[in-house]
Chain A
């Protein structure tokens, strides 16, 4: 078994067993960590694998969340079914954004701005849709918290914990398969040199569109989780620019394009935030905004000194970048 597999297995086991030792506060922090690891991984598919910078990615979180939530609130559709609609809606919108972008040659920063524009447009739009609560919010009826109802996603926080753990592990394994698949190599070619790839006969448009739609759909699942975990949705929280920034921090800090990057990034950033709060409170700094300030400074430091992300540096240190056959692992 390669060193990397051991590390991953250990991590998974640690997370699986955490509820035995951790109190509810720590568990709620871990849920946030895994949520960002999951969504970051989904975003990573578009950016890391297909090289398309999406800065409005919360659009898909929001669409997924609202679709599933609205179906549940208005039509009683359970989450297990609603998620299909959520994924479909998000993938379709992702397809539109991608198609518009790629068809009209919108690249780089312009593409990033396009994604922001779509997200902001949708945010303001959702503030005006009466059936979805508008700015006053869409509230989901809260059921009993002692059950473990996976069909309706109503239940104990522990259920949500294991659910997001399963989702994070699942998307990790999925990406692992993808990277080594034909599609994965197609994406690699497109990312490295689009013209050369086209010259080789690769349908660049289709490859990029697939990445975008897959990324959007998977992100939407994170949105569904979000909706049923928090039980309320507000346009500026679901679609706000702050959210888009939060989503991309973990994968970039952890390591763009790597499989483990988003997970490591989330593991660093969320506890870092909590730690800064605890330390500043203990030292007597109660001034508002100090946590975010330290956060920004930490981010600056990471970007300046470890621009490829923490994971590539860390795995070099731990000697994990050679697999049993000596090949380069991610």
Chain B
């Protein structure tokens, strides 16, 4: 009995890591540009569709196609920010929200028109394989995806710590006025940041396409998931996004196992409420 539970927890952990990557993108966007990206899940869904399309037409394994998809999403994110969202950065939140809801509606229905309402998943040849690690069964695809997600997150953290652009972006987040004073091109940096956030989403989407199916309704669900992870983990904290993802992944497993599985979602929202009320900076965020 406990072997089953252990298996489930491991699965939750691995899947959670991929969600973390998606949430990382949101944390970066929200933490720096301070825009509420309510189209985050929809962008992830677009990446998943792209991965599926490349797999179906070019037989490209999403693990291989991931960099390309990340690049595509980077460009999309950059253009979105530069062309559309930039004008709204200083506007009231509800206006930003409506803007992004409009974008989300366009993305969801554009997907519906292009790909139809059916769910699409990527079924790679090794998609049914599992490794036996002692008494545990580890799903091969989940393991690979989680490893990739972890790797990319690591690269991202290095980017923000070591490169000039990365540091400049962090400067904008920490002290906008100061950043402007020292002559940083904030507009450009914001666009790059959004692009990076979108690239995370692109990579995560490519990985997710191996694990779950995509249909037009997947977008909004992922948006909520991303927000839950980011809030729980702590806004602006990359470690927080990773921690939050794993935590939510595992807690959903536990909720499903001990309660009725259809109530899993309730549990996640309850956690969100508790964090919002008691510790809004999240588990790893800095208290402002």
Evaluate contact between B102 and A293: CB separation under 8 angstroms.
no
Does A288 belong to the interface (CB within 8 Å)? yes
Does B144 belong to the interface (CB within 8 Å)? no
Evaluate contact between B109 and A292: CB separation under 8 angstroms.
yes
Does A289 belong to the interface (CB within 8 Å)? yes
Q: How long is the Cα–Cα vector from A256 to B93 in the complex, in angstroms?
A: 13
Evaluate contact between B113 and A117: CB separation under 8 angstroms.
no
Does A150 belong to the interface (CB within 8 Å)? no
Does A299 belong to the interface (CB within 8 Å)? yes
Q: How long is the Cα–Cα vector from A101 to B272 in the complex, in angstroms?
A: 13
Query: Which chain B residues lie closer than 8 Å to A287 at the CB level?
Result: 113
Q: How long is the Cα–Cα vector from A108 to B98 in the complex, in angstroms?
A: 14
Evaluate contact between B224 and A116: CB separation under 8 angstroms.
yes
Within 8 A of B (CB), among A286-311: 287-290, 292-293, 295-297, 299-300, 303-304, 307
Chain B interface size, as a band, is: 35 or more
Within 8 A of A (CB), among B93-141: 93-95, 97-99, 101-106, 108-110, 112-113, 117
- Known A-B contacts A296-B106, A299-B105; the reply to A113 vs B277 at CB < 8 A is no
Evaluate contact between A113 and B97: CB separation under 8 angstroms.
no
Contact of A124 among B113, B220, B269, B276 (CB under 8 A): B269
A81-105 toward B: CB 8 Å interface, digit per residue (1/0)?
A: 0000000000000000000110011
Does B270 belong to the interface (CB within 8 Å)? yes
Evaluate contact between A117 and B95: CB separation under 8 angstroms.
no
Q: How long is the Cα–Cα vector from A108 to B231 in the complex, in angstroms?
A: 13
Within 8 A of B (CB), among A38-75: 47, 53, 55
Does B263 belong to the interface (CB within 8 Å)? yes
Within 8 A of A (CB), among B249-272: 260, 262-263, 265-266, 269-270, 272
- Known A-B contacts A300-B99, A300-B106, A303-B98; the reply to A110 vs B263 at CB < 8 A is no
- Known A-B contacts A303-B95, A307-B91; the reply to A109 vs B36 at CB < 8 A is yes
Query: Which chain B residues lie closer than 8 Å to A121 at the CB level?
Result: 266, 269-270, 273
Q: How long is the Cα–Cα vector from A292 to B104 in the complex, in angstroms?
A: 11
Evaluate contact between A117 and B103: CB separation under 8 angstroms.
no
A110-133 toward B: CB 8 Å interface, digit per residue (1/0)?
A: 101110111011001101100000
Evaluate contact between A117 and B260: CB separation under 8 angstroms.
no
Does A175 belong to the interface (CB within 8 Å)? no
Does A220 belong to the interface (CB within 8 Å)? no
Does B194 belong to the interface (CB within 8 Å)? no
The 5 closest A-B pairs by CB, nearest first: A296-B105, A289-B112, A296-B106, A293-B109, A299-B102
Q: A114-B277, A118-B269, A252-B95 are in contact. List 12 more A-B contacts (CB 8 A).
A: A47-B94, A104-B277, A121-B270, A124-B262, A124-B265, A248-B98, A249-B98, A256-B94, A287-B113, A292-B105, A292-B108, A297-B106
Interface residues of B, Cβ cutoff 8 Å to A: 36, 84, 87, 91, 93-95, 97-99, 101-106, 108-110, 112-113, 117, 216, 220, 224, 227, 231, 260, 262-263, 265-266, 269-270, 272-273, 276-278, 280
Interface CB pairs A-B, < 8 A, 17: A100-B273, A104-B276, A104-B280, A106-B280, A113-B231, A120-B265, A124-B262, A124-B263, A241-B220, A241-B224, A290-B109, A290-B113, A293-B106, A303-B95, A304-B84, A304-B99, A307-B91
